[in-house]
Amino acid sequence: MANKCIKCNNCGHVGWSKNRGNFLITIILLIFFFVPGVIYEIWRRTGLGVCENCGSDLVQPSSACTSNRPSDVGDLIVLGVLGVIGSIVVVVLYALADSGINAFKNRNAPAPQLSQRELEGSCLRSGMVYYQKQGQYPILGDGKTLALDKIQIDCKGSKDGKYKAP
């Protein structure tokens, strides 16, 4: 942990050291890249820290500090809140990415294939409609052939489910 009593070799100041780096960078890293933000904040808190007067890292341990050691509990509260927000953001982003990928997959999926049985059934229905309109249902114009028999033969192996009138 930083926050140690140090003597600065740069300006001669004796006092409690500050964390290295910049808390703002931690916040930005946490928001956009959660894990590097945590690593950066851990790095900030290791070592002796930097001089609170001039920001130099040319410091050496000292026992001459007279004031009380400052608390960085405020930083920790902000970090805790950001950690919670960060994990929510990560979960939301994963959910969004997931639904985005699914939408993409569905868009590229081929139209559902009708089975041969369904195609022939559909052809049969349109064939019946056709002969009803022609006034040749249920018996064809020759007066002896059942329309349904002919439709069934014509629809065998139908590729598109439509009845093709002869």
Residue numbers at the binding site for Zn ion (CB under 5 A):
8, 10-11, 13, 51, 53-54, 56
- CA dist 64 and 124 (Å) reads 100
The enclosing H or E element of 81 equals helix 73-108
Q: Which is nearer to Zn ion, 53 or 126 (CB)?
A: 53
**Nearest approach, Cβ of 8 to Zn ion (angstroms)?**
3
**Residue number, 62 or 136, with CB nearest to Zn ion:** 62
14 DSSP β-pair partners: 7
> How far apart, in Å, are the Cα atoms of 112 and each of 34, 63, 115, 139, 155?
42, 78, 9, 36, 21
In angstroms, give the least distance from the CB of 72 to Zn ion. Answer: 19
Least Å distance, CB 64 to Zn ion, is: 14
**CB-wise, 60 or 115, nearer to Zn ion?**
60
Report whether 36 contacts 29 (CB < 8 A). Answer: yes
- CB nearer Zn ion, residue 60 or residue 108: 60
Q: Tell me the closest approach of the beta carbon of residue 99 to Zn ion, in angstroms.
A: 53
